[in-house]
């Protein structure tokens, strides 16, 4: 028997979440974001589960080629466009759609002498990451729309910076800027990431671009996927590999960061930061042992963590331990570790055994 540390990916949950996105954005097509190895879930299995998506979106040509290798015909969008002039030919030859977000990419596009490509023009409405500034946007649009290198009417996109927050004013301002800049222009629009898809129906437009929600996880500051009607697709689990008792006052783990307030029964589970469990999760981070919550105690090691089993007198080695997923939202673990669920999902490491379930 090998190390019992594994991640299970449920395809039925993925399909449910895509259907839930469609139910919430009924007038929009869905560009399923499957960058970063489908948020750590495995690109091949996920692409198949989302085969009904209207398009896939990824962060690079390499990722797009990996999607193509799965053998599906869905359009594939490069969310950051190409990173060098040479990439444009390969993108065009493979039929990928590209984002053009700045003057450098526009120059590459003008020099392109292969088949025309569908283009998304990105405008920066406040995120200040990628996109033409409101000042430069119209001139860029006029140029791009006339280029023979562009297939069809260029489409228009922007990205929301704060749609996950309670305060809705910033997003409202981004929408207003986008609408003013693009008023009267033809072409399909896309604005919403997961948070926009959940919280801003006015931002759904022609195409929504959800990532995180498709994996059953909520991007919102508060709450979690299940409370949004989503099903977490990834469950990370292992087993107890030791169960013991320590006397009152003894400490556990590197640095002795937890000391027993009384004689304490505790367990060691085979998972650590070498598997992608966050090292910054502190004392009290919830862990499921046999389906019941117990607190983690002490520091996370590379291969192990300790859990307080005082509430579980019958727990023994071999018992199931769930770190996140079904019954324990990854959002909660992310908050306990001072990070976001995206990072935890993307960060599950190579040595974890992945299993795909229908």
Ligand X SMILES: *Cc1c(COP(=O)(O)O)cnc(C)c1O
Residues of the shown chain interacting with ligand X in the complex, contacts defined by CB under 6 A: 33, 35, 79, 159, 193-194, 209-212, 219
Enumerate long-range contacts of 132-138, CB under 8 Å, 24 or more apart. Answer: 132/101, 132/102, 134/177, 134/181, 136/103, 137/181, 138/181
141 in catalytic set: no
Tell me whether residue 190 or residue 238 sits nearer to ligand X (CB atom): 190
Q: Which residues pair with 77 in a beta bridge?
A: 57, 97
CA distances from 282 to 12, 278, 298 (A): 33, 9, 7
Among residues 35, 122, 231, 277, the one annotated as catalytic is: 35
When the beta carbons of 121 and 321 are compared against ligand X, the nearer one is: 121
Min dist CB 254 to ligand X, Å, is: 34
Beta-carbon contacts of residue 104 (< 8 Å; ≥ 6 apart): none
CB of 226 to ligand X, least distance (A): 17
- Closest separation between CB of residue 160 and ligand X, Å? 9
* Smallest separation, CB 258 to ligand X (Å): 34
Helix axis angle, 61-69 to 85-93, nearest 10°: 20
Q: Bridge-partner residues for 354, per DSSP?
A: 7
Residue 160 contacts residue 173 (beta carbons within 8 Å): no
Which structure tokens are listed for 230? 């989503």
Rounded Cα distance between 241 and 102, Å, is 53
Nearer to ligand X, 149 or 193 (CB): 193
Closer CB to ligand X, 55 or 140, in the complex: 55
How far apart are CB 129 and ligand X at their closest, in Å? 9
Catalytic residue among 110, 244, 248, 254: 254
Output the smallest distance, CB 82 to ligand X, in A. Answer: 15
Q: Which is nearer to ligand X, 33 or 306 (CB)?
A: 33
- Measured CA to CA, the distance from residue 289 to residue 234 in angstroms comes to 17
Q: How far is the CB of 134 from ligand X (least distance, A)?
A: 18
Taking the least distance from each CB to ligand X, the nearer of 309 and 333 is 333
Terminal-to-terminal C-alpha distance of the chain: 24
CA–CA separation, 25 vs 182, rounded Å? 21
Q: Let me know if 110 is a catalytic residue.
A: no
Name which of 201 and 274 has its Cβ closer to ligand X. Answer: 201
For residue 99, give both structure tokens. 């984002």
Contacts of 184 by beta carbon, 8 Å cutoff, 6+ apart? none
Which residue number places its CB atom closest to ligand X? 211
Active site residues: 35, 254
């Amino acid at each position: 028997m090998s190390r019992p540390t594994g991640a299970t990916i449920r395809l039925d949950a993925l399909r449910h979440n895509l259907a839930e996105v469609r139910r919430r954005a009924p007038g929009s097509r869905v560009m399923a974001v499957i960058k970063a190895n489908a948020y750590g879930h495995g690109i091949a299995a996920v692409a198949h589960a989302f085969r009904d998506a209207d398009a896939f979106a990824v962060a690079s040509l390499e990722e797009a080629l990996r999607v193509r290798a799965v053998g599906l015909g869905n359009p594939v969008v490069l969310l950051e466009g190409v990173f060098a002039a040479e990439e444009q030919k390969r993108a065009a030859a493979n039929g990928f759609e590209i984002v053009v977000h700045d003057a450098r990419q526009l120059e590459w596009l003008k020099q392109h002498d292969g088949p025309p490509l569908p283009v998304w023009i990105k405008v920066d409405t406040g995120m200040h990451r990628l996109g033409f500034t409101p000042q430069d946007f119209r001139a860029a649009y006029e140029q791009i729309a006339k280029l023979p290198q562009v297939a069809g009417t260029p489409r228009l996109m922007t990205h929301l910076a704060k749609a996950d927050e309670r305060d809705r004013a910033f997003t409202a301002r981004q929408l207003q800027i986008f609408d003013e800049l693009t008023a009267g222009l033809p072409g399909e629009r896309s604005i919403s990431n997961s948070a926009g898809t959940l919280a801003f129906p006015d931002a759904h437009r022609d195409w929504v671009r959800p990532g995180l929600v498709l994996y059953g996880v909520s991007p919102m500051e508060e709450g979690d996927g299940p409370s949004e009607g989503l099903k977490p697709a990834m469950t990370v689990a292992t087993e107890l590999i030791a169960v013991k008792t320590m006397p009152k006052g003894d400490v556990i783990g590197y640095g002795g960061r937890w000391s027993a307030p009384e004689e304490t029964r505790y367990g060691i589970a085979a998972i650590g930061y070498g598997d992608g469990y966050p090292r910054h999760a502190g004392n009290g981070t919830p862990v499921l042992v046999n389906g019941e919550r117990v607190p983690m105690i002490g520091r996370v090691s590379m291969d192990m963590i300790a859990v307080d089993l005082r509430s579980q007198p019958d727990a023994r080695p071999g018992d199931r331990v769930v770190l996140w997923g079904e019954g324990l939202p990854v959002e909660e673990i992310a908050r306990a570790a001072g990070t976001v669920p995206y990072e935890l999902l993307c960060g599950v490491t190579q040595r974890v055994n992945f299993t795909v379930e229908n």
